[in-house]
A and B are shown apart, each in its own frame.
Chain A
């Protein structure tokens, strides 16, 4: 774009000239006339740009110079010198130039209305100095439009002029001079002094003169009067000052005298701050904008008139020229004038921002101009007036290009992108046709250079447009939404087609056009290179060559750099569009261009970067081309490692290369590796090619046969290599194959064993077991074997190896590498197995073996469990193959030696030596230290709650050993857990270190044991009698109470229990003669009575501990576990509850006569003893029942004297035989007052105490014994 005159390209906006503010140069120049100290602090540095001076403008504007600078900066800030203008939406904006006050605008000729008297006979029509009619003009005599004409209107002749003037005051020495004097004098306000009047008059005259001179040219003149703070009362504010009558009067005077009427805007700028100035500048432009547009409209009208006066181009002017072709320049043709006027009209329309009109005129000019190039003009009859490569021809081409660009751009302004694109297409196709007739067509670099340029400037404009807010329509919407405003894109041009899309009308983003430009530029290079080659031949015809100067210019062009620049622009565009693959395409184009330009290093960098994506997405055709190019680059650069890498990848049959080509690649690789002597190579070049990252001709799969293995067990693995159907084309011999494990101890290294026989087997099983450990240089200590590493195409080789793991953990086969070893090279094809690879097929295992002759049998595949690969295996300790069984007769009873029979079964293949650990753990939350439980091997000893390292002995394979342990649970009947641990080792390899250590195999087993208490006790103590007896010594009295203790012992055990002995161990307090009777000698002690007489030693003590009940017992039936071992009786102990005595005042005893008989009267004697010294009254109530008849009162009472006795008799006559309840006698001691009553307890010796409502029961015998 820079090659075109900027005037033809830049956006036109109305021009405004300002004076009185200094010139633009002042903006950047440091003010020199600093008379004020204030000013020096606010100097704008030279280096600062216009914009930065704006931002620094917050400082108070105190001087005239500062004000001018600020105003000028604001005015010129928005000067549009760009290609892309404000467009139709932009606010009114001028291009503003600052001129000197005395600047004389160039006179314009002819005048708009040339007065008759100016017609001089010698000068028939006055022409502009740049008119074709003026000799000395750049376009004389037949040029069209010179750029200078556009510049004249863009920069020199303004449409509006604004003058900035100061209102004179005492303090200001002159309006323009930038000297400041601070006047100490305060002027009285309200009167106009004569000197002021005089100065004002001068100012008005000056303005008037200016106005007149500009009016002649049709230029609007406007005045801005700057008021200053210096000439006002500092105490008054601005508004008050404005209202000042004097100033108003002076201003209106000036206005009147200077002849500025209402149509000439007149501004007054009061002293103000930055923000106000900004608004003022905008308002100034806004109010003058229409005047500016009017100016250009007038110009347009004038030109239109001129154009209409032109004669028809079909006149006889041109034919005469074409008939007599002459080398001397001819005057401009009518058609030329038409172009000239159309172009001017378009330019003025553009100046007044009338884009539609501008497009129309530009198009008109364009069509006329294109016609000039045609061999046969259709407008002006006859041949073209433009000889090829003449100066005018070149100018006209530039004009055509720029007009076309203008049309494109203006169409973008008015938001019709398809028209813009159409113009580009039109321009390109028109000139393609014309160029072909000129002989500078599609086979010349000139044409392509031009075409590339067209697309580039179009892309440039489009890019600028999009940056300025233009949006490129979405092509998807165009095709689908034919009824919307996008209608015109699709069908308006082709109404018959209906819903559809016209690709040539779809404007795309600039990246595409940059790319086209780049493409065409590379064609330009190609054509130029062809031409150069052609020129080197002898005897070529020089006449077909373009002129020497063009050739020379072309020779100096760096085509590749230009192409790359264009491609990079395109790349950036696509990148911005987030179309990653398109950018890759661009990158590949860039790389190819670098390659063409022999910049191999850069090219290679690009190729490497883009290859990844194509490889990942399986675009092999593209990848192949990239690899081939990379190969070329790498060779040129001498990076042979890369060469090897590319060649290896190219071997893959993913690329559809012919076999012959593949053989070439193969041979090339072999040559590089084996034959080539490359200078400056280090001793040994190591290359590791990661085969997972490239398209490999060889695939590798790994299978461990099992998922887990044990230490020391033989662990098999198979590594399967498959070559592709078409690759390698020639059998390939690798020098070595290496398996690398995460534990380097297991690394394998196979050397190639050349066997002469040719193997054509498609599937081969290779035995890699029985390797020998060797120290290989560069590899360390590895397992080595020599096997055949020959690979031809379409075969599968399965390498089966075995390892014996030494430690538990995960063992992983991390990498497999094939290698070439030559004098200079060590190339490894590396398969990384660490990363999981996608594989969903069933796991397979190739079964191969040797037959009797030592030949490998024909292998067969078998299927393993699972899918995918197994590159790692879990190694664990061998699982204990031992069984522990426990036999016991649950539930266990507390206090007993509970036998548990443990059977340890050896399921191993060999005899083992085993040891046992056992522990009994109570479930109770209490801490185990208090536990009184025991576990023992011998029921006669109670040791502890655990057993340690009990030697079970040697168990032969498949046999078992029985061990009995006894468990003794005490107190609580919680469940217990028996924790058993058996550890063992093969008798052949008993570790020297004790368990736990390596070598021991451990088996744990837990058993739950439920415990219950063997007995349930219930006790009953009944008083029997109490009596004083004389002591042994004779002179003491003894108090004897007799009590009956009944203990009921029940067993809850489901097992029969035999009791050997029950013993009541009395404590000291109860010194008693005990008589014990076991009522039921049955082993079932369901009811066991025990009678004891207790002699109580101390009557003062009320509660007396009796003692312990101790039972010696054992199970009646010995546990099935224990047959021949006598388990001793165990002892259960129970505390007998305390005897609770009550201190009584009155005791009542009943003597029940023995053997009552029906029909025989008997007497119940109640003996009541009063232990107190006072008389007690007893109330008696007798309840009758059906069993007896009794005589006497039902209710009666008597008194018992102090320390005395009373006998109360009840005569009973039994009526019914059997167990009968006696008539109940209730005795109540009467108290002295109400409520002081006490039921007297009746005690019957030999009888149990009645409970609650029960009374004594006797057995009444029948009258007649049966």
Chain B
């Protein structure tokens, strides 16, 4: 299942402010993924709202597909949103996406654990460690724990 190609990873704050958006693609400019991340907020809000306050699953699945890009969403308990954009390939297994999001979530948790990080701030995350970790996820979507 390593044929998924991550185009972009976006972390969006609970007030729908971008925290970190990384473009792994060479075909589209950053702006495109900023737009995608921004438009995803609506779909995520709708999904979360539809699922009700007690929804257990943080993985929201495919948000939408536009042109050659598929947008997947994930929301943490603190309403921080993760958006992953894939280029259209083959059908994607839920577990693969869930694992991918789990990894992003872990990276984010590590960031939040920094006592000097302002949780409510609207500034983008600039931590080098965080950036490196997200890059690692984006460039090599490993599938150690996925058995096809």
Contact = CB atoms under 8 A, between A and B. Distances in A.
Interface of A: 475-476, 478-480, 490, 493-494, 497-506, 508, 512, 515-516, 519, 578-582, 584-585, 588, 614, 617-622, 625
B67 A499 contact: no
Contacts of A502: 90-92
Nearest to B30: A621
A694 B70 CA distance: 33
B5 interface: no
A505 B60 CA distance: 17
A490 B61 CA distance: 12
B43 A579 contact: yes
Contact of A617 (B16, B35, B57, B70): B16
B65 interface: yes
A147 to B, nearest CB: 33
Contacts of B30: 621
B64 interface: yes
B113 interface: no
B34 A622 contact: yes
B38 A501 contact: no
A499 B61 contact: no
Nearest to A482: B94
A494 B57 contact: no
B18 interface: yes
Contacts, number: 107
Interface string B52-82: 0000010011111111001000000000000
20 contacts: A475-B62, A476-B50, A478-B62, A480-B61, A497-B91, A499-B94, A500-B96, A501-B61, A579-B42, A579-B46, A580-B42, A581-B38, A581-B39, A582-B42, A584-B39, A617-B18, A618-B18, A618-B122, A619-B17, A621-B18
Given A502-B92, A512-B66, 13 more contacts: A476-B50, A479-B62, A498-B93, A498-B95, A501-B94, A504-B65, A505-B91, A519-B67, A579-B42, A579-B43, A581-B42, A582-B39, A618-B122
Contacts of A476: 47, 50, 60-62
Contacts of A516: 66-67
Contact of B65 (A490, A497, A506): A506
Give 9 closest A-B pairs by Cβ, nearest first. A502-B91, A479-B61, A579-B42, A500-B93, A503-B70, A618-B17, A503-B65, A621-B34, A582-B39
B1 to A, nearest CB: 9
A497 B43 CA distance: 25
Contact of B62 (A506, A585, A625): A506
A591 to B, nearest CB: 13
B100 to A, nearest CB: 13
Interface string B22-60: 000000001100110011011100110010000001001
A621 B92 contact: no
B140 interface: no
Nearest to A496: B148
Tell which of A494, A501, A504, A519 has the most Cβ of chain B within 10 Å.
Answer: A501
A578 B122 CA distance: 25
Nearest to B46: A579
A579 B66 contact: no
Contacts of A620: 18
Given A500-B92, A619-B34, A621-B30, A475 B61 contact: yes
B133 interface: no
A1155 to B, nearest CB: 108
A288 B40 CA distance: 53
Chain A binding surface SS class: helix
A500 B91 contact: yes
A621 B30 CA distance: 8
B80 to A, nearest CB: 14
Contacts of B43: 579
Contact of A614 (B38, B91, B95, B122): B38
Interface of B: 15-18, 21, 30-31, 34-35, 38-39, 41-43, 46-47, 50, 57, 60-67, 70, 86, 88, 90-96, 122
B41 A581 contact: yes
Contacts of A480: 57, 61
Nearest to A509: B64
A617 B65 contact: no
A1100 to B, nearest CB: 100
Contacts of B94: 479, 499-501
A584 B70 CA distance: 19
Contacts of A578: 42, 46
Given A500-B94, A502-B90, A579-B43, A585 B64 contact: no
B93 A497 contact: yes
A625 B31 contact: yes
A585 B38 contact: yes
Contacts of B34: 619, 621-622
Nearest to A474: B50
B38 A503 contact: no
A516 B17 CA distance: 27
Contacts of B92: 500-503
A501 B91 contact: yes
Contacts of B60: 476
A984 to B, nearest CB: 52
Contacts of A585: 35, 38-39
A506 B93 CA distance: 14
Given A499-B93, A582-B42, A508 B64 contact: yes
Contact of A588 (B35, B41, B86, B95): B35
A513 to B, nearest CB: 10
Given A501-B92, A503-B62, A585-B38, A621 B21 contact: yes
B81 to A, nearest CB: 12
B142 to A, nearest CB: 18
B15 to A, nearest CB: 7
B95 A503 contact: no
A626 B86 CA distance: 26
Q: Which of B34, B35, B43, B70 has the most CB of A within 10 A?
A: B35
A443 to B, nearest CB: 16
Contacts of A614: 38
A419 to B, nearest CB: 16
A50 to B, nearest CB: 42
Contacts of A622: 31, 34-35, 38
Given A476-B61, A512-B64, A618-B122, A504 B88 contact: yes
Contact of B38 (A512, A619, A625): A619
A849 to B, nearest CB: 33
Contacts of B15: 617
Contacts of A617: 15-18, 38
Nearest to B31: A625
Contacts of A504: 65, 88, 91
Contacts of B47: 476
Nearest to B93: A500
A504 B88 CA distance: 8
Most buried by B among A503, A580, A617, A619: A503
A564 B90 CA distance: 32
Nearest to B1: A497
Contacts of B91: 490, 493-494, 497, 500-505
B65 A621 contact: no
Contact of A512 (B18, B31, B61, B65): B65
Contacts of A581: 38-39, 41-42
A1167 to B, nearest CB: 109
A584 B91 CA distance: 29
Nearest to B50: A476
A579 B35 contact: no
Nearest to A519: B67
A928 B134 CA distance: 85
B50 to A, nearest CB: 7
A502 B91 CA distance: 4
Contacts of A618: 17-18, 122
Nearest to B40: A581
Nearest to B19: A618
Contacts of B90: 494, 497, 502
